[in-house]
């Protein structure tokens, strides 16, 4: 596997690539599906828990994975983070041949504030992914009160170019209420955009892969465990959308 980090245009913005090796023994890996991982963190920081652990899940299934660390804090006023995501996606497509990526099979996955950025990339990006995956995502303008800067609502910008979506969240989330997921799903439905949604009864905000190695507290390890099924459900959804191989 090759891994490297590229500096993007805006200050302290990077794109880290994880590219599985090709081999004559694995001809289906010559042109892979790809995943752009956009961690959460309230536009204050990029959560490590929602970065490499997520990339590794998709790498294990043959994806090329890319982690975007985008503009934060005083630099997070829109459209600057959106520009970061657009640049990252354009860079992946520009280098698709060299990096062994199918440019028509790139999904973006985001969590919390990173879910907002993923949704904005999907509804308003000059460059849009072929699929969007939203984990306990901020999508409504009013949730901006808990973030580093005010945000535009993604739900009101859904159009007929918006890609299909996989949405998951917890009904007990007391940081980003599930209204954000539900309203976004309603907006997708109003435009006949395909989506699949899973709302888990239990689960703290920020459960990531919902496996014990991403937590520091024993309570979280047991409590969020049932949410872990989002990973295989999402991978199957992507197989159905993209086809199993590139």
Taking domain 2-242, whether its CATH number is 3.40.50.1820 is answered by yes
For residue 191, the model assigns a pLDDT of: 98
For residue 27, the model assigns a pLDDT of: 77
Whether pLDDT at 220 is above 70: no
Average pLDDT, the chain: 95
**Strands 195-200 and 2-7, sheet pairing:** unpaired
Token pair of 128, please? 């849009």
What digits encode the pLDDT tens for the residues 15-42?
Answer: 999 999 888 887 777 789 999 999 999 9
Instruction: For residue 242, name the pLDDT band (cuts at 50, 70, 90).
Output: very high
For residue 217, the model assigns a pLDDT of: 66
Phi, psi angles (nearest 5°) of residue 226: -65, -20
For residue 221, the model assigns a pLDDT of: 65
For residue 152, the model assigns a pLDDT of: 98
pLDDT, greater one: 139 or 23: 139
What digits encode the pLDDT tens for the residues 180-209?
Answer: 999 999 999 999 999 999 999 999 999 999
**Cis amide bond preceding 135, omega within 30:** no
For residue 23, the model assigns a pLDDT of: 82
Q: How far is residue 81's CA from residue 182's CA, in Å, rounded to a whole number?
A: 24
Whether pLDDT at 232 is above 90: yes
For residue 219, the model assigns a pLDDT of: 59
Record the pTM.
0.97
Annotated domain spans of the chain: 2-242
Of 33, 99, 94, 42, nearest to 70 by C-alpha is 42
For residue 212, the model assigns a pLDDT of: 85
Whether pLDDT at 225 is above 80: yes
What digits encode the pLDDT tens for the residues 60-107?
Answer: 999 999 999 999 999 999 999 999 999 999 999 999 999 999 999 999
pLDDT, greater one: 222 or 6: 6
């Amino acid at each position: 596997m090759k891994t490297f980090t590229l500096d993007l245009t805006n200050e302290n913005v990077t794109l880290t690539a994880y590219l599985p090796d090709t081999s004559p023994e694995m001809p289906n890996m010559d042109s892979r599906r790809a995943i752009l991982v956009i961690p959460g963190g309230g536009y204050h920081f990029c959560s490590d828990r929602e970065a490499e652990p997520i990339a590794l899940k998709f790498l294990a299934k043959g994806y090329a994975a890319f982690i975007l660390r985008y503009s934060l804090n005083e630099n997070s006023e829109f459209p600057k983070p959106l520009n970061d995501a657009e640049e990252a996606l354009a860079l992946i497509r520009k280098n698709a041949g060299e990096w062994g990526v199918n440019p028509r099979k790139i999904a973006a996955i985001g969590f919390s504030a990173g879910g907002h950025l993923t949704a904005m990339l999907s509804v308003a990006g000059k460059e849009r992914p072929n699929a969007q995956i939203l984990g306990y995502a901020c999508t409504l303008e009013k949730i901006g009160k808990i973030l580093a800067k005010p945000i535009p609502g993604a739900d009101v910008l859904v159009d007929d170019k918006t890609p299909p979506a996989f949405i998951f969240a917890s009904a007990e989330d007391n940081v980003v209420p599930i209204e954000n997921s539900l309203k976004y799903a309603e907006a997708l439905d109003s435009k006949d955009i395909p989506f699949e949604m899973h709302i888990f009864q239990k689960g703290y905000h920020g459960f990531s892969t919902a496996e014990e190695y991403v937590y520091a507290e024993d309570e979280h390890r047991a409590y969020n465990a049932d949410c872990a099924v989002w990973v295989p459900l999402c991978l199957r959804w992507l197989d159905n959308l993209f086809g199993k191989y590139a």
